[in-house]
Structure 1
Amino acid sequence: MKDLVNLNGVLVPGDGPVIPLKNRGFHYGDGLFESMRVVEGRACFTDAHWARMVTGAALLRIGLPKNLDRTAFDRYIDELVKRTGIVNGRCRFTLFRTGDGFYRPTSNEGGFAFELSPLTEPTYTLNTQGLLVDIWPGMRKPVNDLARHKTLNCQLYVMGSLWAQEHGLDDCMLQNDRGNIIESSSGNLFIVSNGVLYTPSLSDGCVGGVMRAQVINLALANGIKVYECSLNPQNLLAADELFFTNAVQGVQWAGVYRTKRYAHRLAGVITGLLVEATRVSSV
């Protein structure tokens, strides 16, 4: 496998310096990113990733480069897959503001990069062992227009994941500034009660996850009720299942939250539907 990245439309070696030190993404977290799963040489759900990226770029007032449109987005990923030989992996797209300046940029022009790293599993796979999780009692996520986008400022998730590691946990759940449970440090959150799916609403400040939307759509298409609503710690204790979702791992079920033990029947059903949807879309 060749170590290559796409920087502003050009393939360059990925094992050496790629961006300048003064890059605004590095200095200020001024940009956003998308993480995509590549299955059998094709990136999954690129329409949804592109749409979210365009919306986020408009919010951050970052102009899209002239050589980056919807068609080029897929073409750059395909080229990276062919040149690296990585047919099953994680593709990260990063959009950053290229202008100089300090907090106030001198330009709103955008630059971009694609990276691709291999994964051992060829497609989405449900974890065999349930995750050990708890609520992070530290910082809370503010509810604002940035909350649903994947900006380059990920410090909240880094701190949450460090807390989980320090306490012997696999993951942790985050709260918003109102005390609602909104997501985990690694993705969106769903609970199952009496066969019905519940997930925090976007108005509560969770990331507008691509996989979150896929799970909701797959569930509804297969007769599974879904409600987007506010969730609190009591809802976690009353639930039959708890699982997290993201575009790279798919569905990951939690087995233990404090004294609560969870099943994973519906998490398995959703994973099966997801694998089938991915297989059909790649044909």
Structure 2
Amino acid sequence: MVNFNGEILAAGTHFLNEENRGLRYGDALFETIRVVNNKIFFWESHYLRLMASMRIMRMEIPMSFTMEFLQQEIERTIQENGLESKPARIRITVYRNTGGFYTPENNEITYIIEAVELEHPFYILKDSSCEVELFKDHYVNSGLLASLKSNNKILNVLAGIFAKENDYDNCLLLNEKKNVIEATNGNLFLVKGNILKTPPISEGCLNGILRKQLIEIIEKSDDLELKEESISPFELQKADELFTTNVISGITSITKYRKKTYGNDKAKQLIGKLNARARLA
């Protein structure tokens, strides 16, 4: 079941047309959210990011689009899909309404909420291998638009295809300055000793929700130090650990990059703290 602008529709219902601006121009934003037993993880952070992104995109935010309203719509969608007591992946898509070419006729919006069951209720650190490579065919242009979770993700799609064709598990993306900024599906953290580095938002990485949570966890830790600094490709092979983060998978340890293999001690240390924070969020 899909929530289309407040109307619950059966999965597979055709409710979009060829004039959809998200389809034509990528004129859309989305949030991917983890919900467990009807509890929305980090909901305030998701809501505030969506509102800030809509303002940057010059979308008109309806008066009804409150935090409480959207939470109720998420819960209603979860209930209609029978996922009230299960872990679920929620996607909220917001797109500008039909009309105009590049320049829209108006800035009003429509939203879609989807729900899919997840396997695990909380974050786990998988033992499976994760080999990565740099994706150098195209670069992310650093700046404000790069930090948005928009539908303009063709570079991520091409990087994913490159990884699949070359038997890698993921790819790391570069910005126009040839710095490493993130993976195809999450933010990047580099560990050297007790120092954890992650690129600043100004480098062009996504303003990730789990990135924000981990930064706050690390900053409160007595034995870890956080640095928001640029990461060059040369640093990757000198690191003790590399891991990626997103709200669905949590923390994913990278096990190999070229001839370098990595441990996951700090990732193990952080996964428990992350789960504890999620329960309290």
Q: State TM-score, norm by structure 2.
A: 0.96
CA distance in 2: counterparts of 1:251 and 1:245, whole angstroms: 5
1:16 and 2:13 matched:
yes
**Further displaced range: 20-29 or 245-254:** 20-29
The aligned counterpart of 2:280 is 280
Aligned-partner residue type, residue 37 of structure 1: R
Q: SS state of the match for residue 140, structure 1?
A: strand
Contact kept? 2:19, 2:98, Cα under 8 Å? no
What's the RMSD between the two structures over aligned residues? Answer: 1.1
Contact kept? 1:190, 1:197, Cα under 8 Å? yes
Task: Write the mapping of 1:30-45 to structure 2, written as runs, cut at 5 A.
Answer: 30-45=27-42
CA distance in 2: counterparts of 1:15 and 1:67, whole angstroms: 27
The aligned counterpart of 1:197 is 196
Any stretches of 5+ residues in structure 1 without a counterpart? none
Q: How many angstroms does 1:21 deviate by?
A: 2.7
User: What percent of counterpart residues are identical?
Assistant: 32
1:147 and 2:136 matched:
no
CA distance in 1: counterparts of 2:183 and 2:249, whole angstroms: 13
Aligned-partner residue type, residue 178 of structure 1: K
The aligned counterpart of 2:107 is 108
Contact kept? 1:9, 1:67, Cα under 8 Å? no
Q: How many angstroms does 1:130 deviate by?
A: 3.1
The aligned counterpart of 1:132 is 131
Number of residues of Structure 1 aligned to a counterpart in Structure 2: 278
Q: What are the Cα deviations for residues 34-93 of structure 1, in whole angstroms up to 9, with x where unaligned?
A: 101112222211111111111111111011234321111111111111221122111001
Contact kept? 1:5, 1:12, Cα under 8 Å? yes
1:83 and 2:89 matched:
no
Q: SS state of the match for residue 121, structure 1?
A: coil
The aligned counterpart of 1:261 is 261
1:119 and 2:118 matched:
yes
Contact kept? 1:28, 1:103, Cα under 8 Å? yes
Task: Write the mapping of 1:93-104 to structure 2, written as runs, cut at 5 A.
Answer: 93-104=92-103
Q: What are the Cα deviations for residues 16-40 of structure 1, in whole angstroms up to 9, with x where unaligned?
A: 2122231111111101111011122
Aligned-partner residue type, residue 15 of structure 1: G
CA distance in 2: counterparts of 1:41 and 1:180, whole angstroms: 39
Contact kept? 1:88, 1:118, Cα under 8 Å? yes
1:212 and 2:199 matched:
no
**Further displaced range: 28-37 or 83-92:** 83-92
Q: How many angstroms does 1:280 deviate by?
A: 2.9
Aligned-partner residue type, residue 235 of structure 1: E
Aligned-partner residue type, residue 90 of structure 2: C
Residue in structure 2 matching 1:51, options 42, 48, 51: 48
Aligned-partner residue type, residue 29 of structure 2: L
Q: How many angstroms does 1:144 deviate by?
A: 2.1
Any stretches of 5+ residues in structure 2 without a counterpart? none
Q: SS state of the match for residue 91, structure 1?
A: strand
Q: How many angstroms does 1:222 deviate by?
A: 2.4
Residue in structure 2 matching 1:69, options 66, 69, 78: 66
Aligned-partner residue type, residue 53 of structure 1: L
CA distance in 1: counterparts of 2:61 and 2:36, whole angstroms: 27
Q: SS state of the match for residue 212, structure 1?
A: helix
CA distance in 1: counterparts of 2:201 and 2:152, whole angstroms: 19
Contact kept? 2:91, 2:113, Cα under 8 Å? yes
Q: State TM-score, norm by structure 1.
A: 0.95
